[in-house]
Amino acid sequence: MKRAIYPGSFDPITFGHLDIIARSADLFDEVVVGVLDNSAKTALFSAQERVSMIDGLLSVYSNVSVRAFGGLLIDFAKQIDAHVVIRGLRAVTDFEYELQIAQTNRVEYPKLDTVFLTTSLNYSYLSSTIVREFASYGGDISHFVPEEIIPLIQEKYSR
């Protein structure tokens, strides 16, 4: 039984993240999407909002679930008995940071390996930051996120 964690901020989740989830669901027996609940970082959506938003998009998968986690990723991995972390790599600029985190996590918890999936080319430009920036100016975000969550994002900027 290979259980993997796909951790991230997902503020909000994008088509790029969903592409990684779909491919991970084929590669592993079980995938747990881990939503970082970081009170030190101001997020657009609360962790609970992000979890329920993602949960609503996962009904097509029988082996993918979503949970919030706080603190260190290695502790969450131990808690749910996962030995693989999945991360998407969009470009070489992602690599240095991701390598450092993966190596640090492995020093601290040698049983934990990180698997990098290269983002599909059509989403290689995409990030949650870009989505927030576009949405904040009332831009069209339908190329970036599923239509179900567009009103939730727009609502955050309409206040």
Q: Which residues are catalytic?
A: 17, 41, 90, 128
Tell me if 65 sits within 8 A of 32, measured CB to CB.
yes
Pairwise CA distance, residues 106 & 104, whole Å: 5
Which is nearer to ligand PNS, 103 or 140 (by Cβ)? 103
The answer to whether 73 contacts ligand PNS (rule: CB under 6 A) is yes
Integer Cα distance of 107 and 52 in angstroms: 33
Residue with nearest beta carbon to ligand PNS: 8
Which of the residues 5 through 24 are near ligand PNS (CB under 6 A)?
7-9
Q: Nearer to ligand PNS by C-beta: 9 or 119?
A: 9
- Residue 104 makes contact with ligand PNS by CB under 6 A: yes
Query: At residue 142, what is the residue type?
Result: S
**Vertex 64: Cα angle to 60 and 70 (nearest 5):** 135
Residues lying near ligand PNS in the complex (CB under 6 A) are found at 7-9, 36, 72-73, 101, 104
